[in-house]
Structure 1
Amino acid sequence: MSSAIRVAVLGGGQNCEHDVSLASATSVAAALDPTRYDVVRLTIDPDGGWRDGRGDLLGIAGAVHLLTTCDVVLPVLHGPKAEDGTLAGLLDLAGVPYVGSGVRAGALAMDKWATKLVAEAVGVATAPGVMLTAATARSYRWTHPVVVKPIAAGSSHGVALVTEPDRLEAALRAALALDERVLVEDLVVGREIDLAVLGRSDGTRIVAPALEIVTDGLFDFATKYDGSAVFQVPAALDEADLKALEHAALAVYDALGCAGVARVDFFLTSNGPVLNEVNTFPGFTEQSQVPKMFAAGGTSYGDLLDLLVQDVLEG
């Protein structure tokens, strides 16, 4: 085992995506080839405690020491205090190589308002919207259907479609319970299309086959995980639409400064792609969207993990 690559697989986290992250991390750890990798499991509890693979509390100093014994870290974490650049900053300071985006890209992509500004600056359309706080939300008036969402949360927690004015207050209250800022966007009518972009160590970019999400309504937290949504991959797209989506996905990926794999979500409207959001480390079980997209392009789940790890070691 001395010649094996020592990989820390980190899951959990201090946010509402804790359980989703645990599922992803468990799947990733199981898929790493034991003949090539020495897997070290670490978990962050909801209260911030760090545990090793046996479940023993390590403390932050003990966790950092363990991480520094690894060749590379696979931070399979989603949401605030994790995917938002927080963990990347810790690993940078500890001098430990890791898979995925760095501090800047993680922070920008987690902030949906900042992502909108970056996307629009490089010519990628976003839904018209406003940013509200607890103070300014009181003066906001509903005039048409909108989607309310926390600015920094994932897995569609706190997201609500508001089609009637008397439902606005509850939607804003639910979103503000998860974040001090919320985004209120116009409802966009279009097909929900996801693109996965993989940045390689040699500077090239790979875009996996596009995936379409088919639902009877809003793709919210329940729909994401109850099995009712249908993922069609490759999505049935004509050449012009596919090229427009791929161009927009690459433009946003590069403008944010992403690394490793990221999922860039769009609405495909009659006027072209409209960016929804960017996930710098999306759900990563074998049945999650990104692994399904790469599998459709001929890259298996295990091979995708190999690419992510090897690119960090070679970079």
Structure 2
Amino acid sequence: MKKNIAIIMGGYSSEVNISLKSGNVVYENLDTEKYNAYRVHILTEKWVALDENNKEYTINKDDFSFVLNGNNVSFHCVFNAIHGTPGEDGKILAYLELLGIKHTSAPFYQMALTFNKRDCLSVVKEYGIKTATSCFLNKGDAIITPEIIKKVGLPCFVKPNNAGSSYGISKVKTESELIPAIEKAYKEDSELLIESFLDGREVTIGVITFEGKIKVLPITEIVTENDFFDYEAKYEGKSEEITPADLPENIQIKLEKVAIKTYKALNMSGFSRSEYIIVNGEPHFLEMNTVPGLTTESIIPQQAKECNISLAKLFKNAIETALKTN
């Protein structure tokens, strides 16, 4: 019997349109002989399932089902393609877990932990994983710019603590730029992370659960035309993504080891893509994305293709892995 799969996409954050693109790619690449796939838009104004003609059917939030041609459709598994809230921060996954519905992401706590940059960094530091020097601000805190600069130096980065796709991030080069950068970040989140600038090569590493084992995908180096890997660089062609990265063998081995260590330290499963800066031969962890982009141009699909994993196989593996979980 074919399994009913809900591909959830959209969300409540600035990343809604990117998520819709990712979700549609998943939908287009699922095996129709094996799965009945439905796109499910999780939006602030509505939760709806779409049929193949884009007709909308309201999702019953009591049990995450909908009625199609007089029949109640429930789901064996949910493929999570929501970047940002409520998919990447674990909120909707906690709801699904309460309902007993399997999903392709890590458990809700791990998702919430990794989405919160401050808390994620606190955990990985305990495992000896190198990071940038950082400080934190909550909305309403006094902003004493000399103290911030004394701790993190210049240039530095100001980031929303809970956001993705580089929304709200600024590279600050002078003290006068700090307050405007903080104000910009507060438009995305009430918690901020301010980090020292790490001068080195930037790489991104996909680590996934594949066929029952932790697998490190080929490493990608990010070479951006901009000051950093911002929204323009990620989505508007202002960067070069080199897969596989041309790295010395000893550095590659070191990166693969730290990527697995980070994945295990955070008790992850499912998809992840983490960013590192290599400084004096040492990887420094920046952040982990647990619902990375899944369009054909996105980095995880690029990395999977490099080791002969097709999109269809990548997505099928995620679903089959989820269906086998307790």
Tell me which interval the TM-score lies in, with the shorter structure as reference length.
over 0.9
Within the alignment, does 1:159 sit opposite 2:164 as a pair?
no
Q: Residue deviations 1:54-90, cap 9 Å, x none?
A: 4536255267124971221101011122211101101
Residues 138-177 of structure 1 aligned to structure 2 (within 5 Å): 138-141=143-146, 142=149, 143-177=153-187
Unaligned stretches of 5+ in structure 1?
Answer: none
Question: What is the Cα deviation at residue 201 of structure 1?
Answer: 6.1
Write out the 4+ residue segments of structure 1 that deviate beyond 2 Å after TM superposition. 54-57, 59-63, 65-68, 134-137, 140-143
**Alpha-carbon distance in 1 for matches of 2:85, 2:74:** 26
TM-score (norm 1): 0.94
3-state DSSP class of the match of 1:236? Answer: coil
**SS of alignment partner, residue 309 of structure 2:** coil
Question: Does residue 113 of the first structure (1) align with residue 118 of the second (2)?
Answer: yes
1:266–1:276: 8 Å Cα contact kept in structure 2? yes
Residues 190 and 268, structure 1, Cα contact 8 Å, conserved in 2: yes
**TM-score, normalised by the number of residues in structure 2:** 0.91
Contact residue 15 and residue 80 of structure 1 kept, 8 A? yes
SS in 2 for 1:64: coil
TM-superposed deviation, 1:48: 4.5
Counterparts of 1:60 and 1:49, CA distance in 2: 11
Instruction: State yes or no: 1:265 paired with 2:262.
Output: no
Structure 1 residue identity aligned to 2:258: A
1:205 alignment partner, one of 210, 214, 228: 214
Distance in structure 1 (CA, Å) of the matches to 2:211 and 2:224 = 36
Asked whether the 8 Å contact 1:118–1:252 carries over to 2, the reply is no
What SS does the corresponding residue of 2:158 show, helix, strand or coil? Answer: strand
Mapped to 1, the partners of 2:63 and 2:234 lie a distance apart of 32
For the pair 1:103 / 2:108, whether they are aligned, the reply is yes
Q: Secondary structure at the match of 1:105?
A: helix
Q: Measure how far apart 1:26 and its partner are.
A: 0.7
1:24 is paired with a residue of what secondary structure?
A: helix
RMSD: 1.7
| Structure 1 position 293 matched with structure 2 position 303 | yes
Q: 1:229-278 CA deviation, whole Å, 9 max, x = no partner?
A: 11110101112111111111111111112111111111111140000110
- For residues 19-58 of structure 1, the aligned pairs below 5 Å read 19-45=17-43, 47-53=44-50, 54=54, 56=56, 58=58
Q: Percent identity?
A: 28
Q: Secondary structure of 2:286's partner? A: strand
| The one of 233, 245, 251 aligned to 1:235 | 245
The total of aligned residue pairs comes to 311
User: Greater shift after overlay, 255-264 or 139-148?
Assistant: 139-148
Q: How far does residue 228 in structure 1 lie from its aligned partner after superposition?
A: 2.0
Cα contact 2:211–2:317 (8 A) shared by 1: no
Distance 1:103 1:185, change over 3 A: same
**Contact 1:68–1:96 (CA under 8 A) maintained in structure 2:** no
Q: Corresponding residue for 1:9?
A: 7
Partners of 2:24 and 2:199 in 1: CA distance? 36
CA distance in 1, matches of 2:255, 2:221: 12
Q: 187, 191, 200: which one pairs with 2:197?
A: 187
